[in-house]
Structure 1
Amino acid sequence: MGSVDGPIPEGIILPTIKLDTTLAELYRRASPKNANIRLGLVFCGVNSGLDLSPDFPRNTKFLYQDSPFNTVPRRELTTRNVDLQKSLAMKYLSLIPQRDAFIAGSAPVILFNMGQTTEQVEHDRREAEATISVLDRSQYPELVFCPGPERISMKEHGIDKITYKIVLDGLENYPLTHSLEIHWYLNSKAALALSGLPTPRVELIEAEGFGPLAKSCCTICTTDKGEMFFIPVGCTGNRGKWLNEQTARVIDAIKRRPIPFVLKNQQTFGGAGTWVVTSEEKKKELLDDFSSGEGALRKLLSQVTEVNHHMKPGSIIISDLVADPIGDYGLTFLTTDTGEAVFLAASEQMTDDNNAWIGSTINYSHQQELHDKFLSLMQRTAKYVADHGYCGPVGIDILETKEAGQTASHNGEATAYHIVDLNVRTSGSLSLPLLKGHFSDRGLSCASSFSITVKGGRGGFIRRWRPEFESGKMFILSWYEDTETNESIADVVVGGEDEKALQRLMNRVRNTTEDVTF
């Protein structure tokens, strides 16, 4: 239905997908006090670079710096850039929330429309319904479509509270399971640096204060009509003075830092906002970017305001590079309200040449060994986030070194397991542990989920991979087709008898598609 030739081609019978457990069940386990309420789930993404739709504005208080925010010139960050806005909306309002809706189980999942015409609203619904149609009926989520975050129909759908993946400015007036500010802080890079958990040694450069309002500044600022409230390069007032002072502090810190090192923005997702600097050439490129009038640093500092500066969103984190890692893991677990950690899985991460996350793989036969390896680290992390009032899914990215102490930890601990990212939310690989039964029943000991860009629609893709779909070796976790361009973005899950078989199938799929980055 979502595609011009239908979601499932005639004559193809897809197996029913039965999850081992669902997010709804995990949330009830995490917080018994919320077990008997009707919990609405919001899984969309957000950014601070561009409105996703007329009803879904960019975040201005809880800042997020995704890849476009960091890399796209200011002049292109405008709603007149229809192609960029559509691309972001497809990812953040459809691809990401469908992926989590697939594993949500019996609960209301709140989705936001790409547009508000009747045709657009129906297309959004058909795409999401087609994705979940292969699930066991008892695990169907209730799809609730709303125009934007400030227009969630709580009463109409009998929703008591909302829990969410990413902090949205528009959620502030709803009853929530946990504080927006605390949740935003827990996912920040500074929080990890100051957590007491084993993370590489860091230097934290915090912005001092905030820039004055444009209306109280110079002529250039008061007449700037840009959709992004960047401090203009030619500002001659106090805004420009403040920005130049903060920029100089960051630039000086980078110049002093010997290579190699890693630099990160305060609040990002999907691998964005991370610069791995391993040569003087890359260091110069970073300095050039951060000194530029169109660079990531100027965009970030321009959005530090009186409303959000107490959360220190303009902080820059410079950390040691983990020396010669021998393993890269994504550990996923449930944190209960008492601080108990419930292991879900440890997957291996896939990133592209720019360190952007593009997928994960899991070997089910290795899970007990990995559970034992990371048990202590998982328990410590669960206690840390629970002490801050959060319970629910958590993901931590871990780099393993051959010897303990090979890379210095910020807390002084000699360890071989270094947390390089803390994701206090549902992770991109969370579906994999919940699908163990599905794959194991078919003799498949390994699985992977990854994002792809495809020419054509859902039906054509299923026809191309018919044997894999009909055998349950492959299925769609998320799909959205842009009918104007005849191009789709999707998340797929594939299984293999062993790691080599899985890799062969993944390579075959990747050879006919392109990656999606966030």
Structure 2
Amino acid sequence: MGSIATPETAVKLPTIKLDTTLADLYKNTNPNASAQRIGFVFTGVNSALDLTDSFPCNEKFLYQDSPFNTLPTKKLVRTASASLQRSLATKYLSLIAQRDAFIAGPASSAAVICFPVDASDPEHSRREAEATISVLDPSQKPDLVFCPGPADIPPLKELKVDRIACKVVLDGLEGLPLTVPLETTWYLNSKAALADSKLPTPRMDVVGVSGFCAEASECCEVCVKDGAGTHFVPVNCSGSRGIWVKEGEMKILNAVRERPVPFVLKNQQTFGGAGTWVVHSEEDKADLLEVLSGEDGVLRKMLARVTEANHHLRPAAIIISDIVKDPINDYGVTFFVTDKGEAIFLGASEQMTDSNNAWIGSTINYTHQDALREKFDPLVKRTAAWLAAKDYYGPVGMDILETATPGQTDSHTGEETAYHIVDLNVRTSGSMCLPVMRGHFTNLGLKCASSFSLTAKGSREEFIEASREDFVSGRMCILSWYHDLKTNKSIADIVVGGSDEGELQKRMQKVRQTTEEVVF
């Protein structure tokens, strides 16, 4: 039994036994790695803002998250406002990292390398993470290793770690032994990779640029004065940098202008649900062109970060794809690719709607899993084979839209299919906990479950006390929690179980009445 104590009470929480863990999947599917201990790095990263003084932004492996796309150029400085920096750090270093650490696996096979949100109180991050995994069966608790930043990761021999497996690519991991090379991981998670894959996906065009943005010191007087040491090209640049950015911007904008509506536009490499624009009308297109262009437009910010070191990765390419016509179902399929290219199906989540047919989240129905496994088996195997051919093995999340009739939407491969892959996350997905908690929930007579992020006022202990019965019974479990002592606000990821979809929806609504959604 786990225990969460407050001065007034101690809530005894049930022990959570997972059906399998990430470490088990790596160990049992790769004989060469059966004796290896993996160091997992599950944190997110930003390509413009440092998360902490010891956790710098990426400069080579670019990711376009929401702040990157929406903030004015002059605010995209490495030392951003303290409130913005802290907000990102709690999400990327705690919320996401703890959630995946929950399913990482036993300390004998898994070490999770973590980074504190607040350098002035690193032990608080440790206490929060340890409280989260305290409910796990002792045989499935990972070893948590905290260090200030990627550059401070101790020698792997000292950690008794053989290789690193990362969720997203951090610049600071270059040079370390890895389960999959960094450039391979980055490429396979890019939107252009899906276009290259010959997998069934909506018809799409990849619009890229050639070359890269020169260093400010090699450009004009304006760049030397205002842009030196930054990924910032002043609008009044009269040198090669300004010309290159303008040419790239015009190429992409012209492609957008010429594309008939409707369509979907995506950044090459996104994170946290950002970087996707669905365009239904000419008015939507005009709004998109405004977002993309100008001094603070997405394109100028993106192009300015294309360097000699990363241009071969095509980080500034954008993808324009057809919209899937009249989808009848939206699935999130998770599976594990073995080193031999075989696929281990984990689960498929389904879209949940309320009485007004409005989307309210994703859920997994455990009674549907056998049928969904059979339904998606050919596509999962095909995807796994392609990923293995690119030397990848590890977890995968795949978003699939289903149409009533094959061929309703043109496929990029020309084949007629009712299943269209609209996103491929070659990493742990946010819902990967749901299939591995099947035994926990079904043993309680609960056929459905859902996980979602939230923000709440107060501490973990106060939240648990408010729903004591659900936590004590095992219907509700915390996958991630960080309580900001300075603001008395918490950010969390929880999982809720229900006897059927109707009851699950009611329980989710009850939680959401006293909390708010997390915006990345």
For the aligned pair, the TM-score class normalised by the smaller chain equals over 0.9
Separation (CA, whole Å) in 1 of partners of 2:131 and 2:124: 11
The alignment partner of 1:326 has SS state of: strand
Distance of 2:428 and 2:7 partners within structure 1:
28
Give the alignment's Cα RMSD to 1 decimal.
Answer: 1.7
Match of 1:425 in 2: 427
* Structure 2 residue 97 is the aligned partner of structure 1 residue 97: yes
The one-letter code sitting in structure 2 at the alignment partner of 1:72 is: L
Percent identical residues: 61
Q: Deviations over 1:33-64 (max 9, x none)?
A: 11111211111111202111111111111100
Rounded Cα–Cα distance in structure 1 between residues aligned with 2:228 and 2:471: 48
Q: 1:511 aligns with which of 507, 510, 513?
A: 513
Name the stretch that deviates more: 314-323 or 156-165: 156-165
Deviation of the 1:213 alpha carbon? 1.1
Asked if 2 retains the 8 angstrom alpha-carbon contact of 1:358 and 1:450, the reply is: no
* Map of 2:356 onto structure 1: none
Q: Letter of the aligned partner of 2:339 in structure 1?
A: D
Please list the CA deviations of residues 447-495 of structure 1 after superposition, one character each: whole Å capped at 9, or x if unmatched. 0000001111101101111111111100100000111111110000000
Secondary structure at 2:327's aligned position in 1?
Answer: coil
The answer (yes or no) to whether the contact 1:395–1:423 under 8 Å persists in 2 is yes
Counterpart mapping for 1:163-178 below 5 A: 163-178=165-180
Deviation, 1:194, is: 1.0
Structure 1 Cα separation of the partners of residues 361 and 225 of structure 2: 44
Return the alpha-carbon distance in structure 1 between the equivalents of residues 449 and 6 of structure 2.
23
Relative to structure 1, the CA distance from residue 257 to residue 7 in structure 2 (aligned partners, 3 Å threshold; closer, same or farther) is farther
CA distance change for structure 1 residues 64 and 423 in 2, over 3 Å: closer, same or farther? same
Q: Which one of 217, 220, 240 corresponds to residue 218 of structure 1?
A: 220
Give the corresponding residue for 2:82: 82
User: Matches of 2:136 and 2:7 in 1, distance apart?
Assistant: 14
**Where do residues 146-295 of structure 1 align in structure 2 (5 Å cutoff)?**
146-153=147-154, 154-224=156-226, 228-295=230-297
Relative CO higher for 1 or 2, CA cutoff 8 Å, sep ≥ 6? 1
Look up the match of 2:442: 440
Deviations 1:249-284 (CA, angstroms, capped at 9, x unpaired): 111111111111000000012321000011221111
Q: Which runs of 5+ in 2 are unaligned?
A: 354-358
**Against the structure 1 CA distance between its residues 216 and 8, is the aligned structure 2 distance closer, same or farther, given a 3 Å change threshold?**
farther
The answer to whether the 8 A contact 1:77-1:228 is kept is: no
Q: Does structure 1 residue 130 correspond to structure 2 residue 131?
A: yes
CA distance in 1, matches of 2:370, 2:181: 34
Counterpart in 2 of 1:113? 116
Name the CA distance, whole Å, in 2 between partners of 1:349 and 1:412.
27
Q: In structure 1, how many angstroms separate the alpha carbons of the residues matched to 2:360 and 2:74?
A: 28
| Corresponding letter in the other structure for 2:334 | T
Moved more, 80-89 or 484-493: 80-89
Mark the runs of 5 or more structure 1 residues left unpaired by the alignment. Answer: 352-356
Q: Which residue of 2 aligns with 1:12?
A: 11
Spell out, residue by residue over 1:154-199, the C-alpha distance to the aligned partner (whole angstroms, 9 max, x if none). 2322112111111111111111111111111011000001100000
Q: Any conservation in 1 of the 2:329–2:351 contact (CA below 8 Å)?
A: no
- Residue 8 of structure 1 deviates from its aligned partner by 9.4
Cα distance in 1, alignment partners of residues 138 and 479 from structure 2:
16
- Is the contact made by 2:18 and 2:439 (CA closer than 8 Å) also made in structure 1? yes
User: Any conservation in 1 of the 2:402–2:418 contact (CA below 8 Å)?
Assistant: yes
User: What's 2:140 paired with?
Assistant: 139
Q: Does the aligned pair in 1 maintain the 2:13–2:472 contact within 8 Å?
A: yes
The Cα shift of 1:295 comes to 1.4
1:308 alignment counterpart: 310
Q: Which runs of structure 1 show a deviation greater than 3 angstroms over 4 or more consecutive aligned residues?
A: 5-9, 225-228, 357-360
TM-score of the aligned structures, taking structure 2 as reference length: 0.95
Work out the CA distance in 1 between the residues paired with 2:391 and 2:299. Answer: 31
Deviates more, 1:489-498 or 1:230-239: 230-239
Amino acid in structure 2 at the alignment position of 1:47: N
Q: Aligned to 2:514, what secondary structure does the other structure show?
A: coil
Determine the C-alpha separation between the residues in 1 that align with 2:391 and 2:507. 42
Whole-Å separation in 1 of the counterparts to 2:58 and 2:143: 27
Q: 2:46 — aligned with what?
A: 47
Deviation at 1:350, TM superposition (A): 7.2
